[in-house]
Amino acid sequence: MSSKKEPVVSYLRPLLDEIRGELAFKYIAIARQLMEKGYDVISFGAGQPDIPTPDHIIEAAKRSLDRRFTGYTETAGIYKLREAIAEYLNNRYHASVDPDEIIVTTGAKTAIFVVIASYITPGDEVIVIDPAYPAYSEATKLLGGIPKFLPLKFDKKEGFTIDLDKLEKMISSRTKIIVLNNPHNPTGAVFPPKIVDELMRIAERHNVILLSDEIYDNFIYDNAPFKSVSEYPDWKKRAILINGFSKTFSMTGWRLGYIVAHKEAIERMIRVAVNVYSCATSFAQEAAVEALRGDWTPSKRMIQLFQRRRDVIYEELSKVKGFETWKPQGAFYIYPRVRELLNKLNMSVEEFVDYLIDKQRVIILPGTAFSEVSGEDFVRLSYSISEERIKEGIARIREAIEELETIKLRR
């Protein structure tokens, strides 16, 4: 065999080596492998609710399949679903949205890709508040754009805050988009309305787009004030909204999200959408109409359950030495700072995470999965598991830290 690399390998864009995968998926695979070997794994890694999709939504999909609703649909999504989405946004946020201002996508992730691909030409800049869900920066890179990271400030009392002065200074003539994700993955922060007001003002002042990913808009606790970009008059002039069904209705595997934007923008973005995925799955779309228009009780119950779990995980983590934990008010993640602990143990965050898997069969994610800037200092835990398992998992983390401290003392 010749040592020359085949074109299928050698022609790959060198850029691909710089693209981060989504580490969460790697850890989901590790958890599954360990469980298959019979280990009692506690995973705080999942970015999805552990509660199954509600029955009435599944029944709607079955009815759709029975009717053989299995062909392509229009790229923007079936009209009835776009109507139901508009109804949801108009009832909840007075968003003034029409069905022809919506594209249904194969998950919010595809929505992110379609938007970035529709606006970014090589050299354009996208400001990403860091840490972040990785798709914003990685889609930007794939398309030749440049992500610019604005680190969130962290204070144990105040939590995670956006430095608006710094953000404004980062805007250049090449900046096209500022990405806001609210409620926020991975920190669980709900950025207050006055911050969203300011971001809208900054977008206007500098003529940039505010891309707002609000996929966790139903996971808000303690009545924390939340403002959607779709609440502003004329918001479609400078903002684009992304949302989806994965989290609110526990429909991650159904792959359904959506983009809401100015009608003319939607008409052009459809050209990207049709060339990437043609349309979202037909029967999943019909089921999504039922999700929005049917009984919300299961979703509401699930969110109440998550609020109780949030209380438990916060209380338990607050007892862990070396974890600086702030109580989040949204999504289903908690993002403690572990810098001092890691310094003391002389470990990187990845080594710490690997140690927990090896010794305690507990999976948490390193902050580096969400950040190129400050990830070394943090870990993310998803509380998408029962209260008992949360308690057991955190007890194991405490045990691991005690072990590590003893090992260090012996050295």
Ligand X SMILES: Cc1ncc(COP(=O)(O)O)c(C=O)c1O
* Cα end-to-end distance, the chain, whole Å: 50
- Under the binding rule (CB under 6 A), the answer on residue 47 touching ligand X is yes
Considering only residues 337 to 366 of the shown chain, the ones binding ligand X according to CB under 6 A are: none
Q: Is 107 in the site for ligand X (CB under 6 A)?
A: yes
Residue 99 CB, nearest distance to ligand X (Å)? 20
CA-to-CA distance for 382 and 31, rounded, in angstroms?
14
Binding-residue pattern over the window 166 to 185 for ligand X, x denoting contact by CB under 6 A: ---------------x---x
Q: Is 133 in the site for ligand X (CB under 6 A)?
A: yes
Burial 148-165 (b: 16+ CB within 10 A, else e): bbbebebeeeebbebeee
CA torsion angle for 324, 326, 327, 331 (degrees, to 10)?
A: -110
Contacting range for ligand X; rule: CB under 6 A; set: 105-113, 140-148, 308-316, 365-373 = 105-113
Asked if 273 and 72 touch (Cβ cutoff 8 Å), the reply is no
Task: Report the residue number, 215 or 356, with the smaller CB distance to ligand X.
Answer: 215
- Using the rule CB under 6 A, which residue among 96, 161, 252, 307 binds ligand X? 252
49 binds ligand X (CB under 6 A): no
Task: Return the H-helix or E-strand segment holding 329.
Answer: none
Stretch that binds ligand X, among 26-34, 104-112, 271-279, 397-405 (CB under 6 A): 104-112
By rule CB under 6 A, what string of x and - marks binding of each residue 380-399 to ligand X? --------------------
User: Does 257 engage in binding with ligand X (CB under 6 A)?
Assistant: yes
The binder of ligand X chosen from 97, 108, 126, 341 (CB under 6 A): 108
| Secondary structure E strands in 322-372 | 333-334, 362-363, 365-366
Instruction: Tell me the C-alpha distance between 332 and 188, whole Å.
Output: 7
Q: Which stretch binds ligand X (CB under 6 A): 244-252, 289-297, 319-327, 382-390?
A: 244-252
Residue 326 phi, psi dihedral angles, 5° rounding: -110, 140
Among the listed residues 43, 246, 281, 360, the single contact to ligand X using CB under 6 A: 246
Whether residue 93 contacts residue 230, with contact meaning beta carbons closer than 8 Å, is answered with yes
Tell me the C-alpha distance between 109 and 372, whole Å.
Answer: 20
CA dist 18 and 58 (Å) reads: 39
CB of 251 to ligand X, least distance (A): 8
CB closest to ligand X, residue no: 107
Residue recorded with tokens 């604005």: 150
**282-293 helix and 79-93 helix, angle to the nearest 10 degrees:** 30
Residue 213 touching ligand X (CB under 6 A): yes
Choose between 284 and 342: whose C-beta lies nearer to ligand X: 284
CB of 32 to ligand X, least distance (A): 18
Report how many residues bind ligand X under the rule CB under 6 A: 13
d(C-alpha 58, C-alpha 191), whole Å: 33
* Contact flag: residue 61 with ligand X (CB under 6 A): no
- Window contacting ligand X (CB under 6 A); options: 102-110, 123-131, 155-163, 226-234: 102-110
Q: Which is nearer to ligand X, 260 or 400 (CB)?
A: 260
Residue 131 binding ligand X, by CB under 6 A: no
Q: Toward ligand X, which CB reaches closer, 129 or 266?
A: 129
> How many H helices and E strands in the chain?
14, 14
Distance CA 293, CA 287 (A): 10
In this structure, what token pair is assigned to residue 340? 């001092």
- Which residue in 258, 308, 288 sits closest to 99, CA to CA? 258
Residue number, 235 or 258, with CB nearest to ligand X: 258
Q: Is residue 97 within 8 Å of residue 301, measured between CB atoms?
A: no
Nearer to ligand X, 54 or 244 (CB): 244
In Å, what is the CA distance from 289 to each residue of 195, 241, 282?
32, 19, 11
Of positions 126, 139, 179, 215, contacts ligand X by CB under 6 A: 215
- Residues of this chain that interact with ligand X (CB under 6 A) are 47, 107-109, 133, 181, 185, 213, 215, 244, 246, 252, 257
